[in-house]
């Protein structure tokens, strides 16, 4: 068997062919080229690529006339809520639902904005005080801006806040009985059954529970703590590099680094109507590594199946992973 032509040799030959054809080559040369191309798909790919690069260079001149500026994408401003840019995934089944209600009568200078996200929806919402909220899947919260304070009621789900500095108006998130207070900082609160997980990405926050206001803990950037409704915050722990990973949802991603398949699937199921189910208990305990989009449970299931030697099958609204 003759030696296989190297990719580099093919690339050089392809460039030479483009140069040769550019001389205004005749039919004989074309036939020769066709014969060369016919021998190997890689040659056809390389030739196509070289042609594309050669064509691209025409734009050095063609582009000259067509460079009018187009208006930059509009910058977010304090405009009607419906024009806010939202980050939505899997748009088909998700209805945009920014329900903003001004609870106004008798409460001047105080408005409440309700924000709800559907399953799978992740929304980035600028708040009127200049703060910014990234609201995760299946979350309900209300933001009330008062003259002396800024209050967020987290009814369910998870949100990350980047708080605009305003020393006179503390920013307090209430999740059940748990309270998280910040002045100018960034942190995430995820409400759970019996309390809330708090992660701080910037600055310092104070965390306590309404049921025990004496137990206040200060969490600084790069730490996280769970606070229970009854007992208040536990000892904060360093999140280390995990923080970016656990907050990857803000960009519509989920990152796993050694979580069990079961935990990873549960995470996915927060974001999707299509639920990933693991039928085999041993399989459920396997570890996962990887990065996925929150709205692609099928990609996740496929990857898990391939990596862990399982199979994935769809059953209505479920994707079932089994090992057979």
Partner 1 sequence: MEQEARQRIMAWVVSEVLPHEAQVRSWLRRMIAPDDIEEIIQEAYFRISCLADIAHIQNGRAYFFTTARMLVLERIRRSRIVRLDALTEIEASNIISSEPSPERSVAGRRELARVRRLIEALPERCRQIFELRKIEGLSQREVARRMEVPEHTVENDVARGLKLILHALAEGEQQAEEAFSNAREDERTRDLRRDQ
Q: Which residues bind partner 1 (CB under 8 A)?
A: 7-8, 10-12, 15-16, 18-20, 22-24, 41-46, 48-61, 63-64, 66-67, 69-70, 73, 253, 289-293, 296, 299-300, 302-303, 306-307
Length of the chain: 324
What is the spatial distance between Cα 83 and Cα 76, in angstroms, rounded to a whole number? Answer: 9
Strands 186-192 and 171-175: unpaired
In the chain, what is the straight-line distance between the N-terminal and C-terminal CA atoms, in Å? 42
- Among residues 58 and 315, whose Cβ is nearest to partner 1? 58
CA-closest candidate to residue 169, choices 195, 191, 189, 143: 143
> Residue 142: how many CB atoms within 10 A of its CB?
18
- Among residues 22 and 78, whose Cβ is nearest to partner 1? 22
- Among residues 48 and 97, whose Cβ is nearest to partner 1? 48
Smallest gap from residue 11 Cβ to partner 1 (A)? 6
Angle at 125 between CA 107 and CA 98, to 5 degrees: 70
Cα 287 to chain centroid, rounded: 22
Smallest gap from residue 296 Cβ to partner 1 (A)? 6
- Among residues 200 and 310, whose Cβ is nearest to partner 1? 310
Tokens of 256: 């796993």
């Amino acid at each position: 068997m003759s030696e296989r032509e190297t990719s580099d040799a093919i690339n050089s030959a392809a460039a030479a062919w483009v140069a040769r054809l550019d001389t205004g080559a005749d039919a004989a040369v074309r036939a020769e080229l066709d014969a060369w191309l016919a021998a190997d798909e890689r040659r056809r790919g390389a030739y196509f690529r070289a042609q594309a690069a050669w064509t691209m260079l025409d734009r050095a001149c063609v582009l000259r006339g067509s460079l009018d500026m187009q208006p930059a994408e509009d910058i977010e401003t304090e405009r009607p809520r419906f024009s806010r840019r939202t980050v939505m995934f899997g748009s088909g089944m998700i209805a945009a639902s920014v329900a903003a209600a001004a609870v106004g009568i008798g409460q001047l200078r105080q408005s409440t904005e309700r924000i709800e996200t559907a399953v799978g929806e992740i929304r980035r919402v600028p708040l009127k005080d200049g703060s910014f909220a990234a609201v995760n899947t299946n979350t309900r919260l209300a933001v009330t801006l008062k003259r002396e304070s800024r209050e967020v009621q987290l009814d369910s789900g998870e949100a990350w806040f980047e708080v605009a500095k305003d020393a006179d108006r503390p920013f307090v998130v209430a999740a059940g009985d748990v309270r998280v207070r910040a002045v100018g900082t960034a942190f995430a609160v995820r409400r759970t059954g019996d309390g809330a997980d708090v992660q701080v990405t910037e600055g310092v926050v104070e965390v306590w529970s309404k049921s025990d206001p004496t137990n206040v803990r200060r969490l600084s950037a790069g730490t996280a703590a769970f606070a229970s409704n009854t007992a208040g915050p536990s000892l904060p722990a360093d999140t280390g590099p995990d923080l970016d990973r656990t907050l990857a949802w803000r960009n519509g991603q989920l990152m796993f680094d050694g979580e069990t398949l079961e935990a990873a699937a549960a995470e996915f199921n927060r974001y999707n109507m299509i639920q990933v189910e693991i039928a085999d208990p041993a399989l459920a305990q396997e570890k996962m590594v990887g990065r996925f989009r929150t709205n692609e449970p099928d990609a996740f299931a496929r990857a898990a199946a391939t990596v862990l030697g399982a199979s994935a099958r769809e059953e209505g609204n479920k994707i079932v992973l089994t090992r057979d």
